[in-house]
Structure 1
Amino acid sequence: MSVTGMPRVLFDAILHPHRSLGRGGFRLLMGAVILINLMVAGICLAAGAWPVVPFCGLDVLVLWLAFRVNYRDARLYERVRLTERDLTVQRVAWKAPERHWTFQPYWLRVRVDDRPSRRHQVTLSSHGQSVEVGAFLSPEERAEFARALNDALRAWRAPPCPPAPAE
């Protein structure tokens, strides 16, 4: 227990979905797409194919909306925190209620399912309760996360660890 009465944090990971295109790259991409569409629209107008022009703007709109949805979904994150008392998982997503799971670390099992027939998943389970974490991470990132969490749990369980709760 720390001096302030709050339990010490032994592991704290915040997992975010990976997004490969930042805001600057998005502006550059949209500028290039708009410029190309303006050139195509100009060529079509000069050739007398004026009905094509509205479609040049439509694809820009669809691309912009797709990126808007992508950036909105990037607000998702999961926080996995191990303290002297418990392990908590917090999941925050856009326009969805925040979810929390609490586990007693002594009994917690971290399972990485890496069978080729299924997508890799990290599942935390204890006493009939389980939650999948990091579903949006790459297989390598999931394996690294599971390894780090298992190391923290091993350190937590090493003597002198807190006593296991009586059942």
Structure 2
Amino acid sequence: MSPAKSDFAAHDVAGEEPTLYRVRLAPHRSLDERGFRMVMLIVGGVSLVCGTAFLLMGAWPVFGVFGLDVLVLYIAFRMSFRSARAREEITVTPSLIEVRKIDPRGAADEARLNPLWTRLDKEFHEDYGLQRLSLTSRGAPVVVGGFLHTQQREELAQGLDLALAQAKRGVVRSEL
């Protein structure tokens, strides 16, 4: 994840509303494409060598099972890489909270909330920390940061807490 950018009180264009908080969230994957190819080559090579040894001993069904394991591992990694394409973009201004969720297929779902009527709900687990984070307005929760680790979710909660507090206090604008 690592919030891509957090901007507090940044002004976009003169006369427009300041952006109190902006973050773009993405799931973390520790293995990149190059690492994936390396893992698949090693697993495939070991599978081929072991499978060939069993094939030479006459246990030909074992050879197929080794190939099946490699196929299942390949499919699991591909599914993981596909789910990593999900994104969340959260922008808080004094009059609007905009949450945009983009699923792995690229379909976007947007929620627009009034920061004055929105509260940040946090569900804690005694042993594991912050487990769920949602912005709730008029009884309708919008879950944010669902794919983040606990520490990252806590950082997101701090940023949103500060931005909501600032939006509820009001933003002082100076006329030049």
TM superposition score normalised by structure 2: 0.81
Q: 1:107 to 1:161 in 2, by over 3 A?
A: farther
Aligned to 1:73: 83
Aligned to 1:155: 166
Q: CA offset at residue 150 of structure 1?
A: 0.9
8 Å Cα contact 1:110-1:150 kept in structure 2: yes
Q: 1:17 to 1:57 in 2, by over 3 A?
A: same
Whole-Å separation in 2 of the counterparts to 1:128 and 1:161 = 29
Whole-Å separation in 2 of the counterparts to 1:161 and 1:125 = 26
Supply the AA of the counterpart residue of 1:76. Answer: A
Aligned length: 162
Give matches, 1:21-100, under 5 Å.
Answer: 21-95=31-105, 97-100=107-110
**1:129 aligned to 2:147?**
no
Supply the AA of the counterpart residue of 2:160. Answer: L
What residue ranges of structure 1 are gaps of 5+ in the alignment?
163-167
Secondary structure of the equivalent of 1:90? strand
**1:145 aligned to 2:153?**
no
TM superposition score normalised by structure 1: 0.85
What residue ranges of structure 2 are gaps of 5+ in the alignment?
1-10
Deviates more, 1:58-67 or 1:127-136: 127-136
Supply the AA of the counterpart residue of 2:74. Answer: W
Q: CA offset at residue 51 of structure 1?
A: 2.5
Q: CA offset at residue 117 of structure 1?
A: 8.4
**1:19 aligned to 2:29?**
yes
Q: 1:16 to 1:160 in 2, by over 3 A?
A: closer
Aligned to 1:113: 123
Q: 1:58 to 1:2 in 2, by over 3 A?
A: closer
Q: 1:72 to 1:3 in 2, by over 3 A?
A: closer
Q: 1:136 to 1:35 in 2, by over 3 A?
A: same
8 Å Cα contact 2:91-2:97 kept in structure 1: yes
Q: 1:159 to 1:88 in 2, by over 3 A?
A: closer
Deviates more, 1:2-11 or 1:96-105: 2-11
Q: CA RMSD in A?
A: 2.3
8 Å Cα contact 1:112-1:143 kept in structure 2: no
